[in-house]
Amino acid sequence: MSSFLLLCQKDLRYLIRARGVALSTFGFALLLTLVSSFAFRQVGYSQQEMAEITPGILWLIFLFSGVIALGNGFSYEVENSAIRGPIFSGTDPSVFFLSKFVSNFLFLASLQLFVLLAHGVLFGIEYFGVFGELLLLALLGGMSFVALGTLFSAIAASLPGKDILLPLMLFPLSIPPVAGSVFLMRQVLLEQSYQWTDFWFLLLLGSCAISTVLSWALFAYVVRE
């Protein structure tokens, strides 16, 4: 437990001290918000149509800026072979995975919160009353994305072409949770009636659980060699 806290602390401290990393990721997310506005805002869609489009656009921003953060989170471990420290000191790889997962998740969660707020303000979307639900759905999808992303960033970090390889491996496998999150967010935004036993919610929860457990179980095979 103490090594878990220590490793978490180290990762978070890195994110805070190396200000460029966090700051540039947030800036990149803003840039994506701007670019997404070219796609549809000029046409002047109605509030309803905006609600239809917004979840997909939001997830596009989460995915692209998230994958940069994930890739960064592991490449600094490999650059100076820092990863050998925790592995050789006998830290359980699953503890190592959990600490990486938690610190990555905290970072992505703050990114998602920021993007939701920024997007809502810039596009005038009426989040009033549903913001908590939207954030929860985004975080559930984000959890699955981060679990797989932590595993795949460990794989990609030591390979040539890691920058293209990470999204290539990560995005297709993130489709089930992301699709679930997008469809549920749309239902929330349109204030349609929905149940927590809906197909999309089961898909979101199921793929979230499976990808987290699998990534956690298989992580040892990736870092131990």
Partner 1 sequence: MKVEEIVSIDFLTKSRTTRRVLPLLSILGIFLSLYCIFTVVPNERVMGAAQRIFYFHVGSIMGAYLMIAVLFFSSLAYLGSRKDEWDALAAGAASIALLFCTVGLATGMIWGHSAWNVWWRWEPRLVSFFVLWLILFSYSMLRGFSSGNASQKNYAAVLGIISAVNVPIVIYSIKLLDHTQQLHPEVVEKQGLKDPSYWYTFALTNVSLLLFALWLLSLATTALLLSRQTEELAAGE
List residues near partner 1 by CB under 8 A: 148, 151-152, 155, 158-161, 165, 168-169, 171-173, 175-176, 199, 202-203, 206-207, 210-211, 214-215, 218, 221-222, 225
Residues 216, 153 contacting (CB under 8 angstroms): no
**Token pair of 41 as six digits:** 């805002």
Nearer to partner 1, 98 or 210 (CB): 210
Nearer to partner 1, 138 or 223 (CB): 223
Q: Could you tell me which residues come within 8 angstroms of residue 110 by beta carbon, excluding any fewer than 6 positions away?
A: none
**Matching residue, tokens 């998230």:** 66
Nearest approach, Cβ of residue 206 and partner 1 (Å): 7
Nearest approach, Cβ of residue 143 and partner 1 (Å): 16
Give the span between the Cα atoms of 89 and 109, in whole angstroms: 30
Nearest approach, Cβ of residue 113 and partner 1 (Å): 28
CA dist 59 → 22, 70, 81, 115, 182 (Å): 19, 16, 33, 10, 7
Nearer to partner 1, 86 or 176 (CB): 176
Nearer to partner 1, 189 or 223 (CB): 223
